[in-house]
Structures are given as structure tokens and as C-alpha cells.
């Protein structure tokens, strides 16, 4: 029983440490940057207006999708 309680404590500690981790990924040569936590929660989305063609929203949407997917796979 003691070993099981010890394992639960270790697991909770690992989960807390993982929650502190943040992965940052850029797409579109830096036009879009996203941050995802180790718990796979989207923390931040940054857009660089100097690198974005707002007349091509579909491209921007693809960059956001790529960045989020990549960050979540790395987290």
C-alpha cells in the first residue's frame, strides 16, 4: 500500500512539472508563433503583422493550424 501511495505522489509531482513546461513553435517564417503547455493547453498565439498578408487569410489560418499542431506534438 505504501508503494502505491508513493507512486501516486510521484505522478502528481510529474504532472505539476509538466504543467510548467511551455513549448513555443513558429510557422510561416515567424509570422505566427504559438505557445502550448505540457498539459496541451494553448497558452499564447502571436501574430507578426509585418510578415502577414491579411489579404490571404487562408494562408494565415494554415500557419496557425501548423504551429498549433506542431507545438502540441512537441509538448
Q: What is the pLDDT along the chain (75 residues), one digit of tens a residue?
A: 678 888 889 888 888 888 889 999 999 999 999 999 998 999 999 999 999 999 999 999 999 999 999 999 998
Residue 8 belongs to a domain: no
State how far the Cα of 32 lies from the Cα of 45, in Å rounded to an integer.
Answer: 7
**CATH code for position 58:** 3.30.1310.10
Question: Considering the domain boundaries, does residue 26 fall inside one?
Answer: yes
- In terms of residue numbers, what domain contains 39? 20-74
The C-alpha atoms of residue 44 and residue 8 are separated, in whole angstroms, by 31
Whole-structure pTM value: 0.77
Amino acid at each position: 500500500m505504501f508503494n502505491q501511495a508513493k507512486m501516486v505522489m510521484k505522478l502528481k509531482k510529474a504532472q505539476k512539472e509538466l504543467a510548467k513546461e511551455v513549448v513555443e513553435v513558429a510557422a510561416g517564417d515567424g509570422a505566427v508563433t504559438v505557445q502550448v503547455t505540457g498539459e496541451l493547453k494553448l497558452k499564447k498565439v502571436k501574430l507578426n503583422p509585418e510578415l502577414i498578408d491579411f489579404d490571404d487569410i487562408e494562408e494565415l489560418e494554415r500557419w496557425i493550424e501548423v504551429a498549433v499542431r506542431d507545438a502540441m506534438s512537441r509538448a
